[in-house]
Amino acid sequence: MSANSITVKHNKHRIHPCPNDKKLSLLNLLIANNTKSKILVVTANSPELLKESVNCENVTIMDDKELLGSKDVTCELLISYDLPIAAIVYMSRLARATDAALILLDSSEQKQLYPIETLLGRVIKQDLVEGFAYEESTKMVVAQKPVERPKREYAFKTDPEDKPKYDKKPFDKKSFDKPKYDKKPFDKPKFDKPKRDGDSGDKAKKWEKKDKQPNKFLGKDENGKSIFSGKSGDRNHRHDGSKRESYDAPKKVGRKINIKARKPKEAPEE
């Protein structure tokens, strides 16, 4: 059953926390306070015990099975003596009330309350009735005194007062008070050493270019290969020993075209 069919407002929907052994007394109190209202008491268990203990003309006591069979039953005040296992069953109870609804809730039924509140989409407010609430069980905790253990006795004493003190000699100097090494004035740095004879002191740089020696043709070896005085990559002669010119004329010359000069035009006679 949907929540739209429920007419009870949220401010008239209450929960009274109460243990099971006090529920019957609380039920009689609620009935006595609402004698002018039409009351419906619903339980998930057998209603015979409630019918024997409650005798009022304005009160109807039923279980969930009987309530489902009688669709025309309505009331002004709904009192749920306990909660059913299924939340939808309680929603069918709540749809029969027109004005207010009360729940007598034991601590063991708290798990069954959460699905009902989920279907309603809100939390049902809980009101404590004086004399029917749970008694807070307070346990006294007695603090135990710590056990005093006997102190362990040693054959020798370890008190710092009994230890012999070390007598420092007054003439002993600390390690950081030692005199520093004094350089002699005649010590010269390494770069002031005398130079050798014939040493200019300036080393030639590796990237400086050296003067190239002329590459001369020396002849041919046994295999007929030319020999030069310089490197083979720098030779400027041919394989036969003749000197290579800087520029060689092309061997193949293009075809020559003889173009005759054009004759001038003759002027016409007048």
- What digits encode the pLDDT tens for the residues 181-202? 666 665 555 555 666 665 555 5
Residue 20 lies in a domain: yes
Longest dimension (CA), the chain: 165
Q: pLDDT, tens digit, for every residue of 81-107?
A: 999 999 999 999 999 999 999 999 998
Confidence at 242, pLDDT banded by 50, 70, 90: low
- State residue 31 phi and psi, 5-degree precision: -65, -40
- State residue 87 phi and psi, 5-degree precision: -70, -30
The count of domains in the chain is 1
For residue 231, the model assigns a pLDDT of 59
Tokens representing 120 are 């309603």
- E strand or H helix at 228, and its extent? strand 226-228
Residue 25 lies in a domain: yes
CATH number at 28 reads 3.40.50.300
What is the rounded CA–CA span in Å between residue 68 and residue 75? 15
Residue 187 lies in a domain: no
What's the whole-number average pLDDT of the chain? Answer: 78
- State residue 176 phi and psi, 5-degree precision: -80, -5
Residue 235 lies in a domain: no
Full domain range(s) for residue 46? 3-126
For residue 234, the model assigns a pLDDT of 46
Residue 220 lies in a domain: no
Q: pLDDT, tens digit, for every residue of 257-269?
A: 787 777 777 777 6
Residue 222 lies in a domain: no
**1-15, 31-45, 133-147: range with lowest mean pLDDT:** 133-147
Helix pair 87-94, 110-120: axis angle to 10 deg: 60
Residue 142 lies in a domain: no
Residue 226 lies in a domain: no
For residue 100, the model assigns a pLDDT of 94
